[in-house]
Structure 1
Amino acid sequence: MTAYAIFIQERSRDAAELQTYAEMLRPLLGESGGTVLAAHGPQDVLEGAAPDGVVMVSFPTMEAARAFYDSPGYQAAVKHRFLGADYRSFIIGGIK
């Protein structure tokens, strides 16, 4: 079943750290089987405060999404995301 990793950027703190994260992330996604479906695009906020940005990545399975997140390469990159902004992140299983 397809799974989606959702990253909601609540508040930015350090653009340079976020840039480092983005540069490290690109090759990792290519190796993981993940596909970016949305990344910091226009928002039509229906309820609540608008986040700074949202990224949605699809993976073939929940296990593949979690393996990507837990991988040594991503764990090295995610440190820069933590320094660059406050996020909420989760993996959700698709319907089919």
Structure 2
Amino acid sequence: MTAYAVAHLHRTEIGPEITEYLERIQDTLDPHSGRFVIHGAPAEVLEGTWPGALIVISFPGMAEARAWYDSPAYRAILPLRTRNADGDTILIDGVPDDHLATDVLKG
């Protein structure tokens, strides 16, 4: 089942380190079949507030998502982002194509 790395960045300081991070991240994703699904596009806020940017990267499964995040290649560039951006990052499983809203009531 598809899994996602999701980051909600509240503040990002664009500079040399973030530029280097962006230039290098794709090489860390490729071995794990990761690809950007959402990458900081402006959100149309319908309810509440939405400060910052949303980034979503898809992976074939949770094992690949964890392997990417824990990989030496990604760990080498992670400080370039964390020193220059504040936010929350999670890994989360997606749902099957036939998922219905009521499926969450089944337990």
Same fold (TM over 0.5): yes
Q: CA deviation at 1:14?
A: 4.8
More relative contact order, 1 or 2 (CA 8 Å, 6+ apart):
1
Q: TM-score, normalised by structure 1?
A: 0.89
Residue of structure 2 equivalent to 1:64: 64
Mapping for residues 66-81 of structure 1, pairs under 5 Å: 66-81=66-81
Matched, 1:16 2:16: yes
Q: CA deviation at 1:71?
A: 0.3
- Aligned residue identity for 1:15: G
Q: CA deviation at 1:26?
A: 1.7
CA contact (8 A) 1:3 1:62 kept: yes
CA distance in 1, matches of 2:21, 2:48: 27
Mapping for residues 1-96 of structure 1, pairs under 5 Å: 1-96=1-96
CA distance in 2, matches of 1:60, 1:74: 18
Over 6 Å off, 4+ runs: none
Structure 2: which 5+ residue stretches go unaligned? 97-107
Structure of larger gyration radius: 2
CA distance in 2, matches of 1:53, 1:27: 22
CA RMSD across the alignment = 1.4
CA contact (8 A) 1:16 1:84 kept: no
Count residues in correspondence: 96
| % identity of equivalent residues | 36
